[in-house]
């Protein structure tokens, strides 16, 4: 009997989660960086799949996150030493996404609880991982990182950016800036009700350089010597060419 009860207890959240499930759609699943790349808008949309009528009570809410490839970096803080501004403190950030956008159907604290935010690493500060900082106020450093990247349009939070129709269909537009890092961009959709996550789904957007961009990038990493020599050859030809052209123009 006790065994049966615990089974039921375990199953309960699962069945609840199954009651409303999310289906994900992306306007495009790959972004190609060409020479004239100016940034891109990705439409993330989806629908709620359910086998029962819409439950009464708190309204359905949606959170969409798009996360670029993570990297390791160091945040420095300057301070005045003998009149000169010097990097005095440094905090190593183990992992920070190169791009991070959160779009929600309402104010974040009404859509999701702090616990759920922490568990699923939803808001921007949760997406940054920094351990072993030796300074007194490591939080100030991650806050600065977020502030700087937000100004560059790399980190964003768009509360109310997700539109929900008939508690079933939803969509949001995510702006990818022109200065984009190559890699796999993770897209996550969370369905919440009463600030609890009901269902989640993940998809990926591949951001890659194509054509000339791809070729140059590969050459620079695979054949650096030839790439370097090619760069020099271009410089020599251009320098010589310009001088010849101006001479011809002067004589002609």
Partner 1 sequence: MQIYLPIADVSVNAFLLLGLGGIVGILSGMFGVGGGFLLTPLLFFIGIPPSVAVATGANQIVASSISGVLAHLKRKTVDLRMGTVLLLGGLVGAGVGVTIFNALKKLGQVDLLVTLCYVVFLGIIGGLMAIEGWRALSKTKRGVKPARKKHTAVQRWPLKVRFRTSGLYISIIPPVLVGVSVGILSAVMGVGGGFIMVPAMIYLLGMPTKVVIGTSLFQIIFVAAFTTLLHAVTNHTVDVMLALLLILGGVFGAQLGTRIGTRLKAEQLRLLLASLVLAVCLKLALDLFLPPSEVYVIGSGGG
Give the interface with partner 1 as residue ranges (CB under 8 A): 33-39, 71-80, 83-87, 90, 92, 141, 144-145, 147-149, 178-182, 209, 212-214, 216-217, 220-221, 224-225, 227-232, 234-236, 238-243, 246
Q: Which is nearer to partner 1, 188 or 209 (CB)?
A: 209
Burial 101-130 (b: 16+ CB within 10 A, else e): bbbbbbebeebbeeebbeebebbbbebbeb
Sequence-ordered list of residues with C-beta below 8 angstroms from that of 51, at least 6 positions apart, any chain:
19
Rounded CA-CA distance 8/195 in Å is 24
For the bound state, the minimum distance from the C-beta of residue 97 to partner 1, rounded and expressed in Å, comes to 13
C-beta of residue 48 within 8 angstroms of C-beta of residue 191: yes
Residue number with CB closer to partner 1 (56 or 221): 221
Distance CA 77, CA 107 (A): 32
3 state DSSP class of 232: helix
* Closer residue to partner 1 in complex, CB, 8/76: 76
CB of 172 to partner 1, least distance (A): 24
Considering beta carbons, is residue 59 or 177 the nearer one to partner 1? Answer: 177
The sheet that has 20-26: what strands, in order across it? 20-26, 40-50, 169-176, 163-165
Give me the least distance between CB of 148 and partner 1, in Å please.
Answer: 6
Give the bridge partners for 193, in sequence order: 196
Q: Closer to partner 1 at the Cβ: 39 or 160?
A: 39
Q: How far is the CB of 206 from partner 1 (least distance, A)?
A: 16
Q: In whole angstroms, how close is the CB of 126 to partner 1 at the nearest point? A: 19
């Amino acid at each position: 009997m006790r065994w049966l009860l615990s089974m039921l207890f375990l199953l309960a959240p699962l069945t609840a989660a199954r009651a409303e499930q999310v289906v994900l759609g992306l306007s495009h699943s790959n972004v190609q960086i060409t020479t004239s790349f100016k940034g891109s808008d990705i439409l993330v949309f989806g629908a709620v799949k359910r086998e029962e009528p819409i439950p009464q009570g708190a309204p359905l809410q949606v959170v969409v996150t798009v996360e670029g490839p993570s990297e390791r970096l160091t945040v420095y803080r300057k301070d005045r030493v003998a009149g000169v501004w010097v990097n005095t403190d440094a905090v190593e950030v183990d992992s920070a996404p190169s791009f991070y956008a959160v779009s929600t159907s309402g104010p974040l604290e009404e859509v999701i609880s702090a616990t759920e935010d922490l568990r699923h690493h939803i808001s921007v500060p949760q997406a940054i991982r920094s351990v072993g900082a030796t300074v007194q106020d490591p939080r100030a450093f991650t806050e600065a990182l977020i502030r700087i990247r937000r100004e560059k349009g790399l980190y964003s939070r768009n509360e109310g950016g997700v539109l929900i129709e008939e508690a079933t269909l939803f969509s949001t537009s995510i702006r990818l800036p022109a200065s984009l890092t190559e890699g796999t961009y993770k897209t996550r959709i969370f369905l919440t009700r009463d600030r609890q996550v009901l269902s989640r789904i993940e998809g990926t957007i591949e951001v890659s350089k194509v054509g000339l961009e791809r070729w140059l990038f590969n050459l620079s990493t695979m054949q650096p010597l030839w790439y370097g020599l090619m760069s020099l050859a271009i410089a020599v030809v251009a320098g010589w060419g310009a001088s010849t052209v101006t001479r011809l123009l002067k004589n002609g």
